[in-house]
Chains A and B, each alone.
Chain A
Amino acid sequence: MRSKRLVFNIVYNLCVFAIGIAMIYPLLWMLASSFKESNTIFNTASSLIPKQATLENYINGWKGFGKVSFTTFFRNSLFISVTATFGTVMASSLVAYGFARFQFKGKKLLFTAMLLSMMLPAQVLMIPQYLWYQKLGWVGSYLPLIVPYFFAIQGFFVYLMSNFISGIPYELDEAAKIDGCSYFSLYRYIIFPLIKPALVTACIFSFIWRWDDFLSSLLYVSKTAMYPVSLALKLFCDPGAASDYGAMFAMATLSVLPVLVIFLIFQKHLVEGISTSGLKG
């Protein structure tokens, strides 16, 4: 019995490990390229080991453009991603609670509106959104990149969380209500802790999406000193001229790190789902 288990364990780990390597091949490739001399990247594209490892790309890349180094770009990205993520997760969980637990007039309509807003290709809203934010006087600042998220405009998260809340036994609410608990306390002390896996998932997604987003910062942020990393990365390459691919890969590798760290920190909390948080009784 035990040896069977051991064999199973080995086979399991081997399989998962092998697929895992295939999954991270691109990152390995990017990492390897970032240590190659910039002009040899394409000629040695199939090899993962640089003939002559060099740190030059990192040094060149970090200098950034003009007077602005990647220290600034990373700080900008962090600021935008963290605030927007905080806003979107908080607001979405509130709204999701409203959708999942209450019946009210116009709910269906509102829910449909939320779904519809996800179905329109984002690219087509770029111009009208720009004109509207310009009317509000927000162009050139981070406001368009942050404020909307405090209003739960990402239907995806609202829907995700309301799905989770629906899965929580309703008896809990009722018991608390009989005990005289207000709806907000109910949300705050019962629902919120119980949807932790969903909150964590939303945090990870939102952070990554904000971190990778360059289209909105392209339109709304004009000063180089305010560029996020995603936008700054694009300045390394231009189709018509010599591009510093080495520096680009170096900075792209670094730009994945914060996201990876966020993921590693948060994914631990995914593990403790409802099954271990005391709902068993």
Chain B
Amino acid sequence: MMKRTTALLVAAAMTTASLTGCGGNAGNGGDESTNPEVKSSGGSSSDEMVFAWWGNQTRNERTQQVIDLYMEENPGVSIDGQPSQFADYWNKLATAAAGNALPDVIQMDYKYLDQYVENGLLLDLTPYVDNGILDVSDCNQDVIDSGKVDGQFYAVCIGISSPALVYSKTVAEQAGVEIKNNMNIEEFLDTCRKIYETTGYKTNIAYTDNEPFMEYLLRAKDVTLFEDGKMGGEAADYVEYFELYETGLKEEWLIDPAVFVERTKTTELNPLVYGTSPENMSWCTFHLTNQYSVLVGSAAEGNELGMLTWPSDNVKKSNYLKPSQFLAVSKDAKNPEEAVKFVNWFNNSVECNNILLAERGIPVSKSVSEAVSEKLPEPDQEAIAFVNEIVSPNSSKVNPPADAGASGVIDLLNQLEEQVCYGQITAQEAGTRLFEEGNQMMAK
């Protein structure tokens, strides 16, 4: 009888009772019972350092090896590596920032640097450079400066790349066009026309990956795309970019924008390397050097690729060495010095970079980059040579990191570009709207 009574009362509360047991298990069960290795590798989680990055399987694999190596060399240091997929990474990072629970070492993108610094989420690394824990003496000063915001040093660049117009040598030969570095816009357009006329291959300008190329074109006119709280230059400056599409659309050598809705955004399905006919393929793609080897790997047999500078009427002004990724340390890092030591090792250790193999871009430290480069596969060596010999001597300093409002403007740019390509608005309208509406967004 009593039992029944209790049962009734517990009817509602049973859930409460059972959950404590279950919940408790859940918390610990995850890492204890299911993975002994992780448990044994670290001490208590409170002095464990967290290193978060985005990437694919190759990067995850190599980075984890590097972490293991570091822990082996530095007994007592424990690092938990946490990889995510790119979009998820920023979602997760932002949420963690809202809860003041950022990872200790953060892989940072140039695009987001300013926002994280402005909100005081990153540690100023200047003191560590001064006391020698962080050694950046072997690096290109311009590249190191790209990690500075308002004169303070927040993020260490861990890989360099540069814009590269990856193109199909095979198609170019077929069309009999002469292809060269440092083309100006008119020469580029002529090439597109000629290739379309002779081979039927179309051209993808920078559809959906537009902002770097827009910035590149503006730099030739000494205009900075994103200035502090506003768009640089004037409305007319923004029309040129859209005009390229308009011309291509009119002359029919522009690839059908539908192709980009039909395909998952992935290097393997880039119209340069994938397609069923010249009609839905492009002879070139606006990319960065660090993706070159992936493109080469994805190209069908008999489709030989090469690399050129992006076209511009003033390549020297337009071109730049691009910091492809950074490492930053969270303001809330439990042991900042340990975190900075790890960042330093990541950047300067040949042993470490022999495992990473320039997968994040060319190592910034000159001695490391030289030591590593021989070990790289052919296309990566080609990319390094391209950056060092073609881009480096003929380029200017990279633009400062963009303001918080920039992501909204980039979306607007996407929309306007789409409307131009679908023939809904003119290049003139698109340029004006981008400038005006963009200014409103940046002002907020």
Touch A–B, Cβ below 8 Å: yes
Interface: B128 (CB within 8 A):
no
A224 to B11, Cβ gap below 8 A? no
Chain A proximity mask over B390-413: 1 for CB below 8 Å, otherwise 0: 000000000000000000000000
* Residue among A131, A147, A221, A241 making CB contact with B55, cutoff 8 Å: A241
Minimal Cβ-Cβ distance residue in A for B27: A141
A237 at interface (Cβ–Cβ under 8 A)?
A: yes
How many residues of A sit at the interface, in one of the four size bands?
35 or more
Taking a contact as CB atoms under 8 Å apart, the answer to whether A42 and B27 are in contact is no
Residues of chain A from 82 to 140 with CB closer than 8 A to chain B in the complex: 83, 87, 90-91, 94, 126-127, 130-131, 134, 139
Residue B376 interfacial (CB < 8 Å)? no
A267 CB contacts on chain B under 8 angstroms: none
CA–CA, A224 and B42, complex, Å? 14
Q: Are A75 and B34 in contact (CB under 8 A)?
A: yes
Instruction: Decide: A185 near B4, CB < 8 A? Known: A150-B18, A235-B60.
Output: yes
Name the residue on B nearest A123 (C-beta).
B91
A65 touches B95 (CB 8 A): no
Are A240 and B86 neighbours in the complex by a CB distance under 8 Å? Answer: yes
Interface centre among A91, A222, A242, by most B CB within 10 Å? A242
Report if B297 contacts A (CB, 8 A).
yes
Q: Is the CB of A241 within 8 A of B291?
A: yes
- Chain B's closest residue to A244 (CB) is B57
Query: What's the nearest-Cβ distance from chain B to residue A257, in Å?
Result: 19
Q: Residue A190 at the B interface, CB < 8 A?
A: no
Question: Is the Cβ of A247 less than 8 Å from the Cβ of B15?
Answer: no
In the bound complex, CA of A265 to CA of B176 (Å) = 64
What is the minimal beta-carbon distance from B109 to any residue of chain A, in angstroms? 10
CA distance A224 to B50 in the complex (A): 11
Provide the bound-state CA to CA distance between A83 and B21, in Å. Answer: 11
* Residue in A143, A218, A238, A247 whose CB lies within 8 Å of B23: A143
Are the C-beta atoms of B23 and A147 separated by less than 8 Å?
yes
A94 to B28, CA, bound (A): 29
Contacting pair B30 A91 (CB below 8 A): no
- Complex interface: chain B residues within 8 A of A76 (CB): 30, 34
User: Is A280 in contact with chain B by the CB < 8 A criterion?
Assistant: no
Any B CB within 8 A of the CB of A223? yes
Least CB separation from B294: chain A residue: A242
A72 neighbours in B (Cβ, 8 Å): 34-35
What is the distance, in angstroms, from B51's C-beta to the closest C-beta of chain A? 11
Interface string of B9-29 (1 = CB under 8 A from A): 001101110110011001111
Knowing A67-B64, A134-B101, A225-B35 touch, does A242 contact B298 (C-beta < 8 A)?
yes
Contacts of A146 in B (CB 8 A): 19, 22-23, 26
Q: Is the CB of A66 within 8 A of B30?
A: no
The residue from B18, B31, B67 contacting A226, defined by CB atoms under 8 A apart: B31
Judge whether B101 and A65 touch: CB under 8 Å. no
Chain A CB within 8 A of B267 CB: yes
Measured CA separation A91–B19 after assembly (Å): 11
Number of interface residues of B (CB under 8 A): 61
Cβ < 8 Å to B, chain A residues 198-257? 218-219, 221-226, 234-245, 247
Is the beta-carbon distance between B56 and A243 smaller than 8 angstroms? Answer: yes
Main secondary structure of the interface of B (DSSP, over half): helix
Cross-interface CB contact of B83 among A183, A235, A240, A241, cutoff 8 Å:
A235
- Give every chain A residue within 8 A of B291 (Cβ-Cβ): 240-241
In the complex, how many angstroms separate the beta carbon of A51 from the nearest chain B beta carbon?
Answer: 14
Q: Which of A42, A134, A235, A242 is the one whose CB lies under 8 Å from B297?
A: A242
Q: 1/0 contact trace for B31-60 toward A, CB 8 Å?
A: 100110110000000000010001111111
Residue of A nearest to B67 (CB): A66
CA distance A126 to B7 in the complex (A): 36
**Cβ contact within 8 Å between B50 and A222:** yes
Whether the Cβ atoms of A225 and B26 lie closer than 8 Å is no
Given contacts A67-B37, A242-B267, contact A225 B11 (CB under 8 A): no
**Given A127-B95, A151-B15, A184-B7, is A247 in contact with B57 using a C-beta cutoff of 8 Å?**
yes
Q: Is B145 an interface residue (CB 8 A)?
A: no
Q: Is B61 an interface residue (CB 8 A)?
A: yes
Chain B nearest CB from A114 CB (Å) reads 16
Assess whether A79 is interfacial by the CB under 8 Å rule: yes
Q: Complex Cα distance A225/B80, Å?
A: 10
Contact with A along B107-139 (1 / 0, CB 8 A): 000000000000000000000000000000000
Residue of A nearest to B48 (CB): A223
Q: Does B265 reach chain A (CB closer than 8 Å)?
A: yes
Contact B86 A126 (CB under 8 A): no
Contacting residue for A130 out of B7, B28, B99, B359, CB 8 A? B99
- Find the residue from A75, A141, A245 having the highest chain B CB count within 10 A: A141
Cα A139 to Cα B101 in complex, Å, equals 10
A-side contacts of B38, CB under 8 Å: 67-68, 223, 225
Among A66, A142, A237, which residue has its beta carbon within 8 angstroms of that of B81? A66
Q: Is A39 on the interface with B (CB-CB < 8 A)?
A: yes
Docked complex Cα distance between A136 and B247 (Å)? 59
Cβ-neighbour of B294 out of A66, A182, A241 (below 8 A): A241
Q: How far is the CB of B134 from chain A (nearest CB, A)?
A: 26
B266:A142 contact, CB within 8 angstroms:
no
Contact between B82 and A223, CB atoms less than 8 A apart: yes
Whether A238 and B56, one on each chain, are in contact in the complex, defined by CB atoms closer than 8 angstroms, is yes
B70, chain A: closest CB distance, angstroms:
13
Docked Cα-Cα span, A150 to B16, in Å, equals 7
**For the complex, is B2 an interface residue (Cβ under 8 Å from A)?**
no
B85 cross-chain contacts in A, Cβ below 8 A: 234-235, 237-238
A244 to B99, CA, bound (A): 33
Among A72, A134, A187, A238, find the residue whose CB has the most chain B CB atoms closer than 10 A: A238
Q: Which residue of A lies closest to B17 (CB)?
A: A150
Q: What are 9 A-B contacts defined by CB distance under 8 Å?
A: A39-B268, A87-B22, A131-B98, A147-B19, A150-B19, A183-B8, A225-B31, A241-B58, A243-B56
| Given A142-B23, A184-B4, A240-B267, 8 extra CB contacts under 8 A | A66-B60, A68-B38, A143-B27, A182-B8, A218-B88, A222-B80, A240-B86, A242-B268
What are the 3 closest A-B residue pairs judged by CB atoms, nearest first?
A: A66-B64, A142-B26, A141-B27
